[in-house]
């Protein structure tokens, strides 16, 4: 099974590292293919530290979603506080909207990238079982 996955990764030009029972594939994020259990394959997405969505924390993509939701809540409170001191809060609303949009676009990009790759690996596994 591992050699079949490695063959496909090489065939499609993916950059990966072999760690025994685990393969780490470097996309825009890292996807770990855990082959430690014979009948089960685990696919784990990781965003490395010093990344736009995670800051200094290394986390899974779902963790980054929670992290950014809390961060946007805090930033929205700061912007609400600042709106009382600014004569024209439209600028703050525009900046906040742009920030939220930017974070949502990157989050969506990484979600699509990770899920597309995971689906591709699942397809390889179905082909191998036939």
pTM exceeding 0.85 = no
Is the CB of residue 32 less than 8 Å from the CB of residue 23? yes
pLDDT in tens, the chain (130 residues): 788 899 999 999 999 999 999 999 998 889 999 988 877 889 999 888 777 777 788 889 888 889 888 988 999 999 888 888 888 888 888 988 999 999 899 889 999 999 999 999 999 888 877 6
Domain ranges in the chain are 2-129
Cα gap 64→77, rounded to integer Å: 20
């Amino acid at each position: 099974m591992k050699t079949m996955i490695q063959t496909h990764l090489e065939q499609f030009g993916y950059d990966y590292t072999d760690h025994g029972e685990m393969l780490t594939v470097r996309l825009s994020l890292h996807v770990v293919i855990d082959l430690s259990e014979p009948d089960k394959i685990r696919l784990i997405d990781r965003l490395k530290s010093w990344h736009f969505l995670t800051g200094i924390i290394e986390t899974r993509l779902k963790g980054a979603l929670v992290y950014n939701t809390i961060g946007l809540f805090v930033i929205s409170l700061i912007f609400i506080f600042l709106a009382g001191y600014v004569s024209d809060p439209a600028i703050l609303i525009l900046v906040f909207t742009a920030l939220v949009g930017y974070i949502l676009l990157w989050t969506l990009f990484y979600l699509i990238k990770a899920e597309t790759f995971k689906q591709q690996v699942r397809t390889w596994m179905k082909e191998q079982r036939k």
